[in-house]
Amino acid sequence: MKLEQGLIYIKDVVGGSENAVKDGVLTVDVEGLKAHLLEDPKVKAVEVDFAKPGDHTRIVPVKDVIEPRFNFDRVNGFPGMTVKYNECGNGRVNVLRGAAVVTIGDAVGFQEGVIDMWGEGALWTPFSKTYNIVVDITPIDGVDPHEHETIVRMAGLRAGTYVGLAAENATVDEVKTWELGPMKEEAEKYPDLPKVAYVQMTISQGLLHDVYMYGVDVKEIIPTWFHPNEELDSAIVSGNCVAACDKITTYQHQTNPLTEDLYEQHGKTINYIGNILSPELTTLDGKFRNCDYTAKLCEQLGADGVIVSEEGYGNPDSDLVMICKRLETRGIKTALVTDECSGWDGTSQPLTDTAPEAVAVVSSGNVSKVVELEPADKVLGNLKAAETVAGGWAGCVGEDGSLKVELNAVIGATSEIGYHNASVKLY
């Protein structure tokens, strides 16, 4: 597969009467975007605003983040979701790099999350650096929680596609090419390099805990090999809206840094043999089946080494170490990427499960670390929603509009695919 991404670097975003890019400034047809989303009869109202790096603006509660793009060689949109199925991973796509569609709306249950564009909060979220088109979506009255989330999710994807129309005729600043042939061909090119696979665990546990691949709810499938270009070309969509810190937004799937880093090393230090999507289920039988199947796939692919990234924490920690144990038992070297839930003082047990084989572990931070965020000049959404997100609590919103929350509440703060601002200090 060969995917060419035409990167258009966005330096500002403004409202206007058309979707266009000129000299790095993205213009969004705000009224056109609203009208487009209101074509769905289940969408009652839409509001659009902008949040830029350095603005004293707080966005809460965030549902998803989407990178706007325009596809030239397949139907434009998200296959299996907003458009009929088309294979992703080949052809040309223009990307509005630095722009992001951020969806917000009424919370359903305990739901994320916070993005601050300035100050202490901005240090913890990567989306303080993007030029955000914030879309506030209100479904019609009387829908149940599942339908509510579907309406908002689909509206966000449609908004990302609509804004992405600006990329069609824009001047491209850089072209990135992602190309990986069949495994047999790549093995013949690099016979002396270790074959490395990437196992991507995805939350798959029901309402607010879902991920979709080509429109398929991944909790309905067994672990599946896929070409890394497919994820980079928008085949995977987030439906996970609980712990903001380590959910993988649709934007982060589209730009997965672990996939990009493995690509960078392909043909140099490793032979990259692709990705495996491994659903995280709640039933014990489901966990055994998926972990066994994941390890079997890696072995049958001939992997010498595997990187495993988690999404979420708690019961998925068991899936993580179970996969590790099964891989190491098969003689496959395994490295894990996870965050920790170590309590406010950092002294609690970091994972809910352990295995002696888990000797190579990368931590992306402690989800329970408490941060204090100063009042915003402008709030997009509902500030009181911070009290009902994971990492917030009754009374965490100060009378002056300040917040005291765990990193749990901050979008992307401890992303387990490495798409975050935190770093590790060695002593």
Cite the active site residues: 241
- Nearest partner of 249 among 16, 64, 14, judged by Cα: 64
Please name the residue ranges forming H helices in 116-255: 119-124, 145-164, 183-189, 228-232, 250-254
Q: In what order do the strands lie in the sheet with 216-217?
A: 216-217, 209-213, 236-240
The DSSP-derived string for 250-279 is: HHHHHT-HHHHHHHHHBTTTBEEEEEEEEE
> DSSP code of 399?
T
What CA–CA distances, in Å, run from 93 to 11, 74, 167, 257, 405?
Answer: 20, 9, 9, 18, 38
Strand 62-66 to 99-104 pairing? antiparallel
**CA 312 to chain CA centroid, nearest Å:** 12
Helix (H) or strand (E) holding 334: strand 333-340
Strand 305-309 to 195-203 pairing? parallel
Length, in residues, of the chain: 427
Please name the residue ranges forming H helices in 38-174: 119-124, 145-164
How many angstroms separate the CA atoms of 17 and 27, rounded? Answer: 8
Cα 362–368–371 angle (5° rounding)? Answer: 110
Strand partners, 48: 135
What the block records as the tokens of 161 is 């596609």
Cβ-Cβ contacts under 8 Å for 423 (sequence gap 6 or more): none
What CA–CA distances, in Å, run from 215 to 71, 238, 249?
Answer: 18, 10, 15
